[in-house]
Chain A
Amino acid sequence: MPERKTIAAYLEAVQGQIRWKRARPLLVRELERHLEDQRDDFLKEGKAPDEAERLAVEDMGDPVTVGTELDRIHRPRPQWGLLVLTIVLAAVGVFLRVLFRRPYFRQDLVLMRALASLGLGTAAMLGMYFLDVSRLVRHARALYIGTLVMTVPLLRFVYPTYSFSLVSALYPLAYVLWLYSFRGKGWKGLLLTILGGMPLAAVCCLIPSASGLFILLFSGLAATLYAAGRDWFGVGRWKGVGAVLAVAFGLLAFLFLKGYLNSFLLRVMIALRPELEKEHRGYMGWVLHMFWEDVPPLRSVGGEAAMPVNAGARVFGGGQEFRPIDFSHDFLPASMAVAWGWIPLALLLAALTILLLWMLVKGLRQSYLPGHFVVLAVVLTLGFQTLFSAALNFGFVLFSASLPLVVGNFQTVVDMALIGLALSVFRGDSIAREEPAKPLRPRKRLRIKLEYQ
């Protein structure tokens, strides 16, 4: 064995055996502290500095053996299964977007854009997959503020479809990162966490994006309850949960008193029974209900001709000429069911649900808490998108929602990036560590001005 008797040389030899570069600093830091402790104890016993360091190094054992053992344990955990499943689902989305495009759209252009979204989405997913999530968490508040500042221009300058996709996909994550940064900060932390959700909600209202707002509210509530249930803020588990529920019900009461809740409940009623306002606000839901009456489990080839005519007759009256209905974009899943029967749509929804549940189960098994929260944000966001889209396509028309990985080119890219982020948590699980607890430092006051109309 070569003469390697200093701590630095020893650590260099150890890390030479560890193939995963990202794991090296973490593993070496622990050994370094141990060697320093051991050296200091030898110094206290009266050994000379050189001898103390040599003895400490010898005491630890052969660096190659130690490094090899650590290398065996700490390997990246590839997530090929989930990556492939995501790409397959996104490819199915490309196929469906091309097949069920608006009749007046050119097929070659639609195909090119859909393929480009798959390519960009895959690149974004892999980019996030290789990202170190601990870096993201380290700058949690900066990312929250950055997301908010960057998305405000959406209100004026960006095409609405892009704003909806970005806001509904990124805001729950930004909120969860904000929440994460208030660990152990007591009641003040809990209050600031909840206040942090308000500017995001305000942007959703101003866009206006109802789906973005509801995905943010539901995901935010679920994540805050989850955090409070783990006593994230250090105020006591049940006190925290109680406080979050009190704020949620308080907000509901406030909206009720302001009269917003009444109009919302009216919308829910019309979504449930669209026939009550079939020529006005219930129109789309009514049309969908008519179409669903004729959707069989599986449609045989060539059997589709009569169906839209029958549905059209029920919608517009038997004597009237059938008018084609635009079932593209958010209604693409319904178009698919109309053309092929409900079983293919059920299979697609089941595949998405399996992907999300698989991610959720893996995410909640993580020992790395920031990973928990990142995965939770991603799964809640995509889960609510799926749920809302399914509701919309089955005729419960409350607000627009795009089926993840299937509807919308830009949406697909954003969804794939989010999934890549969740998978990066699983990939780096074996070295994922929390930041050391630091003593509290005085912080500058952050003023948030809220305006209600």
Chain B
Amino acid sequence: MELEKSLVSGSMSLLVLKLLEGGDLYGYQMIEELRRQSGDAFRLKAGTLYPLLHGLEEKGFVTAYEQTAESGKTRRYYHLTKQGHQALRDKETAWDAYARAVGRVLKGGACLAGA
């Protein structure tokens, strides 16, 4: 199922931070991993990912370093900082609250049932 773009873009930084919680990754790996973990639902464009990553780096949520792989190719890996971990916790909490609220409304409205 192809998801609506606006649904994905709002939560993208949360997803990227979550991916990095599992370990340092480079951009291409992140896109592949996101696609795999979401069961092909999230097909993030690289053109969206890199500005997003650089923005997170600017905020101090991630740091980047370059490492040369055995193949000889140099990759730029991203690493979640302490500040990034905290941001991830905050975003997860906010997302849970949002998802619960949306869920309640979709199920017919908890407030109406109680009125």
Contact = CB atoms under 8 A, between A and B. Distances in A.
A73 B58 contact: yes
Interface residues of A, number: 30
A69 B51 contact: yes
A30 B45 contact: no
Interface stretch (B8-16, B62-70, B104-112): B62-70
Nearest to B63: A367
A66 interface: yes
Contacts of A60: 45-47
Contact of B73 (A31, A33, A61): A33
B36 to A, nearest CB: 14
Contacts of B58: 73, 430
Contacts of A367: 57, 60, 63
A439 interface: yes
B98 interface: no
B28 interface: yes
Contacts of A34: 27-28, 46, 50
B79 to A, nearest CB: 10
A38 to B, nearest CB: 7
Contacts of A31: 46, 50
Interface in B8-59: 27-28, 45-48, 50-51, 54-55, 57-58
A70 B49 CA distance: 11
Interface string B92-112: 000000000000000000000
Given A34-B46, A65-B47, A70-B50, A437 B27 contact: no
A30 B27 contact: yes
Given A30-B27, A34-B27, A34-B28, A62 B47 contact: yes
Interface in A402-453: 430, 433-439
Contacts of A59: 45-46
Interface string A349-376: 0000000000000000001000000000
B74 A433 contact: no
A35 B74 CA distance: 13
B76 interface: yes
A326 B68 CA distance: 62
B91 interface: no
Interface residues of B, number: 23
Given A61-B48, A66-B47, A69-B51, A33 B75 contact: yes
A333 B74 CA distance: 54
Interface string A136-152: 00000000000000000
Contact of B74 (A33, A61, A72): A33
B73 A38 contact: no
Interface string A36-75: 1110000000000000000000011111011001101110
Nearest to B75: A33
A30 B51 CA distance: 11
Given A34-B28, A367-B57, A367-B60, A436 B74 contact: yes
Contacts of A436: 65-68, 74
Contacts of A434: 65-66
Contact of A38 (B28, B63, B66): B28
A62 B47 CA distance: 7
A433 B51 contact: no
B27 to A, nearest CB: 5
A73 B55 contact: yes
A435 B64 CA distance: 11
Contacts of B60: 367
15 contacts: A27-B50, A31-B46, A33-B75, A34-B46, A60-B47, A61-B48, A70-B54, A72-B51, A367-B60, A433-B66, A433-B76, A436-B65, A436-B66, A437-B65, A439-B68
Given A59-B45, A437-B68, 12 more contacts: A33-B76, A34-B27, A38-B28, A38-B46, A60-B47, A63-B47, A65-B47, A73-B54, A436-B66, A436-B67, A436-B68, A437-B66
Pairs A-B, 3 closest by C-beta atoms: A61-B47, A436-B66, A69-B51
